[in-house]
Structure 1
Amino acid sequence: MKYNKLGSSQLSVSEVCLGSMTWGNQNTQHDANQQIDYALAQGINFIDTAEMYAVPPTEKTYGTTETIIGNWIATNQNQRENFILASKIAGNGLAYIRGGSDISGETVTQAIDNSLKRLQTDYIDLYQLHWPNRTSPHFGKHHPNHISFTNVNAEQETQGMLDILQALDKAVKQGKIRHFGLSDDTPWGINQYIKLSEAHNLTRVTAIQNEFSLLHTKDWPYLIENCVHQEVAYLPWSPLAGGVLSGKYLNGARPEGSRWCHAQRNGLFRDTQNTHQAVSRYMQIAEQHNITPAQLALAWCKQVDGVTSTIIGATSMAQLKEDIAAFDIQLYADALKQVADVLKDFPAPF
């Protein structure tokens, strides 16, 4: 297993991060225990969760994933120092989480304390803002004029960021969290937090996790270049684009128990004709190189310059083993050329 420095921190994380968002919905405590044990045995030292999980998010399943991880930690206390634990505060819009309110300094403090209780740990290594208070160009909202940047009050947003940052800095000083990160944010968001931390001598943003895959490369090159030079770790989530890059949803297929059989908070926005045409091409490339389509997608993501650790998720041990094995695969020039040709034909399929 290869390890990379987590942004400007002194932490080293495995190039594979074990995602957990299905635990508590599609997966049980027993499933999660097996996945954690196997991942650690393979050298993975990075686990990502969120207070909002399991997904799709509901009031009934809110906090269950953290609780499941906490149960594992409680029975494996000697292992806590052996892995980097990341979690997130939910953003606005979910009425059952703090009334759907914006993230603020007050809610950050409250959310951290509640997550620590569910996780049954004294500290969280990386605490992230799940999405910013302003609407960001993620979850299919990245096309021109889908959202309006000119209607955002930048001064007001910046003051809100400072309030959040001050609470995060206090939590670091208290030892409740070690570092903070962003999620579903932009270069402007990253740089505003950096400016504020420098101006007020507060904790510095360490990482950002955004959606990134063969079907969704909008962060290359501008956001990733920004991350590299600002020493902010880049953590792709959904490297299989919600599972579609595995090929299992081709031709309208909906395997029983799969994610696309469940209602999605943002809808099946990845389910387009261009998506399936691109996936079909990627499947052909994978077959030519004797790997699975999922392994092609993950091996490609791993080799992108600037990627620190790729967040994977699996609903079965077979999927988990297949996904982890992908990080031992090296894609050579001919395979990368074939992939690049598909990317040129389908630069933004959804």
Structure 2
Amino acid sequence: MTWGIQNTQADADEQIEYAMACGINFIDTAEMYPVPPSEETYGDTERCIGNWLARNPEQREKLIIASKISGPGFPYVRGNSMISSATIEQALDASLARLQTDYIDVYQLHWPNRTSPHFGKHWPNQVMATQQKVKAEKKRMRDIVLGLGKALENGKIRHWGLSDDTTWGIHTYLNLCEELGVAKPVSIQNEFSLLQIKDWPYLIESCVFENIAYLPWSPLSSGMLSGKYIGGARPEGSRWTMTQRQGLFRNTIYSEQAVVAYCDVAKKHGMTSSQMALAWCDQIDGVTSTIIGATNMLQLKENIEAFDVSLSDACLADIEAVLQQFTAPF
């Protein structure tokens, strides 16, 4: 999601090829990327991937490419409209054109039409469930499933998934799919890291029992867990030096204290804090595949190497001690 704003096409090419050489075959993107999003850069990450695919068509079948349709929130994306059967058709055709492919392996709903407890809105009474219009929401979800069913039938997508949704969202879609005879969602990607564990254990249990892949995004909590922002540091070219759409809601005094503590644990056990944070995500029961992001090759190599790291019992105990102290730092 940095390709097209922090990274050039050449950077994207290098990262794709290095990742594939390391055995990675899953590329996750979205129509609204790169981030921070803007009308000027809208769709550019998909374009970077598509340009590479156009030059390497023989590699397409080796990859699982996932993209996402944006929900309401952007006036320049289909006039700020909600996700629907009609907008799925529009967005999907545009993504296919930018990606220069005739199918997307996993097409995801980037966030629900309703306001959900994500993007820092997970504290009590920030999202009022009693004020949701459930009947209208289910009607919109039914229309979405029909649109996804059409996309599956015509071969434009092979599977579909969710993102930034809840346990209720998962099971409502499962029920609608059974009722309408449409293939069920295969995955959900939600924010999950040492600083954000709201999905454990209940949503992750649902994913395991329903055979839905759980894909953590922001496992380094927007780069915080690397330690690079400690003490108000803002390394040149880092995402936090850029204009933020929603503000740095993760940047609290408690988050800072937690990151310092995690960095100390990582140093004690002979690894970088980024690698420890990624290895921790990877060993959580029910986590299917952790979505990593890297702006440069040094970060990419460090992140990929994390999945060969085995955390000792002593390290896990030290991590748990910090986690108990800073369970919800933002």
Q: TM-score, normalised by structure 2?
A: 0.99
Match of 2:299 in 1: 319
Deviations 1:222-271 (A, max 9, x none): 00001000111000000000000000000000001001101122110010
1:158 matched to 2:147? no
1:331 matched to which residue of 2? 311
Matched, 1:218 2:202: no
Q: In the alignment, does 2:267 pair up with 1:287?
A: yes
Indicate the percent of aligned positions where both proteins have the same amino acid. Answer: 62
Q: Distance in 1 between matches of 2:238 and 2:179?
A: 47
Cα offset for 1:331? 0.4
Contact 1:128 1:183 in 2 (8 A): yes
Which residue in the other structure is 2:152 paired with? Answer: 172
**Paired residue for 1:54?**
34
What is the count of residue pairs matched by the alignment? 330
2:44 corresponds in structure 1 to 64
What pairs with 1:193-232 in structure 2 (closer than 5 Å)?
A: 193-232=173-212
- Give the superposed CA RMSD: 0.5
Give the TM-score, by structure 1 length: 0.94
Give the C-alpha shift of residue 74 in structure 1.
0.2
| Equivalent position to 2:55, from 75, 96, 100 | 75
Rounded to whole Å, the distance in 1 between the matches of 2:14 and 2:112 is 33
For 1:158 and 1:332, the matched residues in 2 are separated by 45
Listed one character per residue, the Cα deviations across residues 107-134 of structure 1 (whole Å, up to 9, x for unaligned) are: 0011111100000001000000000000
Cα displacement string for residues 122-151 of structure 1 (whole angstroms, at most 9, x for unaligned residues) = 100000000000000001100000111111
Runs of 4+ off more than 3 Å? none
- Letter aligned with residue 341 of structure 1: A
- 1:113 pairs, out of 85, 93, 99, with 93
Aligned-pair CA distance for 1:161: 0.5
Deviation readout 1:267-326 (Å, 9 max, x if unpaired): 100100000100001001110111000000000000000000000000100000000000
- What is the SS of the residue equivalent to 1:168? helix
Distance in 2 of aligned mates of 1:34 and 1:305: 32
Partner AA of 1:182 in structure 2: L
2:77 is aligned to: 97
Alpha-carbon deviation of 1:183? Answer: 0.4
Structure 2 gap segments, 5+ residues each: none
Higher RCO, Cα 8 Å, sep 6+: 1
Q: Which residue of 2 aligns with 1:240?
A: 220
Does the residue aligned with 1:311 lie in a helix, a strand or coil?
Answer: coil
Deviation by residue 1:79-106 (Cα, 9 ceiling, x = unmatched): 0000100000001010000011111100
Q: Secondary structure at the match of 2:106?
A: strand
Letter in 2 for 1:221: P
